Chains A and B, each alone.
Chain A
Amino acid sequence: MTADPIALARSLPAAPLDARSRYLRRLTVDALIGGERGHIGSTMSLIEILRVLYDSVLNYRADEPDWAERDRCVLSKGHGCLALYALLADKGFFDPAALTDFCRHHSFLGGHPERGKIPGVEASTGALGHGLSLGVGMALAQRMRGRSARVFVVMGDGEINEGSVWEAAMNAAKHRLDNLVAIVDYNKIQSAGATAVIQDLEPLGDKWRAFGFETQEVDGHDITALEQVFSAAPSADGKPTAVICHTVKGKGIPFAEHDPSWHHKSKLPVDVHADLYAALEDN
C-alpha cells in the first residue's frame, strides 16, 4: 500500500519556532491581512531559509542595495515574496510600515517581487524556473570580475518541475560555479497537492548529485543547521552546491500546516485574522 504523502510529511521532524521566527511570521501576516491575500503556505515554509541567509550568511548593505561586492540572493519562487519582504523590511531595506500596503494599487510590494521597484530584490520572479539561470549568469559575472561574492537561488519544490531548472543545473556544473548555491524549499506540497502525487521529485538528492552539485539535506526550520550548511558554501572546489531544505508548508500556523488549501488565499476571511496572530503569539 502506498503511504499517504502528506501524512508522511507530517511525520517528519521539524524544529520548533523561536521568538524571532514568530516575529517575522507576524510581519508576513500584517501584509497578508493588509493585502487580503497571499501565498501563506509557501511563505511560512520559507521564513527560516531567508532568515538565516539575511541574519548570518549574506554580505550586503541595506543602505546600498546595489553594492557591487554583495552576495546575491534570488527568490526564484517569487510567490513566497512575503517572506522576502518581511526580511528586507526587518533589515532596513525599506520601512516595515509599507508591508500593510501589500498588493494595494499604489504599493511597491506586489504579489511577486520586482527588481527596480523594491530595494534589495535582485530579480523579478513569479514565473517559475527562471531564477537558477539568472543565478548562473550572476555567478559567472562575479567570477569574471574577480569577486568573491556568492549567489544563492531559492526555489520551490513545485518549481523544479520546470525543465529550465535542469538546463540551468547542467550548465552550472559545466561552468564549475562553486560560488552558486541552489536551495530547494522542499515542503512536499505544490498547488494541486502533494509533490509525490503531482510530480514526484524523488530521489531528489540523487538528482542534484547526478547533475554535478555538492548536495546537502537539512531541516529547513533548524536555524543552527541552516547556518552551518549555508555558511559552508562554497563547500566543494569547482562544484556548485545544492541544499535541500525539508520544510513544512504553512509552518507555524497549525491549521494551515501541510494543507494544500492554504497554498494561496485570495480572500482572507476576517475571522481568521485573530487566529493567525494567536498561532504566532509569544508564549
Chain B
Amino acid sequence: MKADLKPDLASYLLAMADDEMILAHRNSEWTGHAPILEEDIAFTNLAVDEMGHAGLWYRLHADLADEDPETYPDRLVFFREAPFFRNIQMVELLRGDWAFSMLRQYLFDVAESVWLPDLASSSYQPLAETASKIAREEMYHLRHTQAWIRRLGRGTPESHRRLSQALDEIWPYALQLFVPQPAEEELAAEGLVPLKSAARETWLAKVEADFKASDLALPDGGEPPTTDRRAHSEHLVGLLTEMQSVARAYPGVSW
C-alpha cells in the first residue's frame, strides 16, 4: 500500500467501525424490551455480533494509525466526543418501534452483504481477512432480518403500516451509507476498497426484491440528510452519554 494512503484507509475503517458500534449500542436497548422473548435474545445477539465486528474494524484502524490494537479501540469508543465519531446518522437515530429498528438493521445488513465480499478481496491483506471473517457471520443476520421484514410487511395491517412509516423515516438516512468517503477513489484505484457508488445499485436491487416479497414499495429517490460523517443529529450525544458513563466514571476499571 502507498504510504500516503494509510491515513485515508484508517479513516475509512474508522467510519465502518463507528457505524457498527453505534448501531450495536442502539440495538442493545431492546435487551429486555423486545416484543417476544426469543427475539429479545436474537436481537441482543445480533447487537453483540455487530459490536464484535466493530472491534475488528477498530483493531485494523489502530494498526494503520500506529496505535495499540488491544487498548486503542476502548479509548476510541469510550473517550471520544460526538463530533469525532464518523458514523452515519441512520445508526444513531432513536430506536423507535420494533419495525423501525428491524428495518434499519435490515438495510444495514443488505449493504454489508454487498460490500463485504468486495472488501474480502482487498489488496490490504488484514482488511481482506477481516471482511471474509465478518461476511460469514453476516449471512445469519441478513437471513434473520429479511424474514422479519417479510413478516412485518405481510403480517397485519398494523405491522404493514408501521413498517411503511419506518421506511419513510429511515430511507433518506440509509442513503448516506453510499456517500463516498474522502479519498475513496484513490483507495479503490489501488484495489483497497470497493466504490460505494457501485454498491448502491446492487443494494437497491436486493432491497427491491425483498420489498416485493414484503408488499412494500421502494421509495422514489431521496437525499441523505448530510454527506458529511462529521455531522451528527442530537441523538448521538445522548447515546454516548449513556454508553460512555461507566468507563468515564471509573477510568481503567475492568469488569
The answer to whether A binds B is no
* Chain A residues packing against B (C-beta within 8 Å): none
* Chain B residues packing against A (C-beta within 8 Å): none
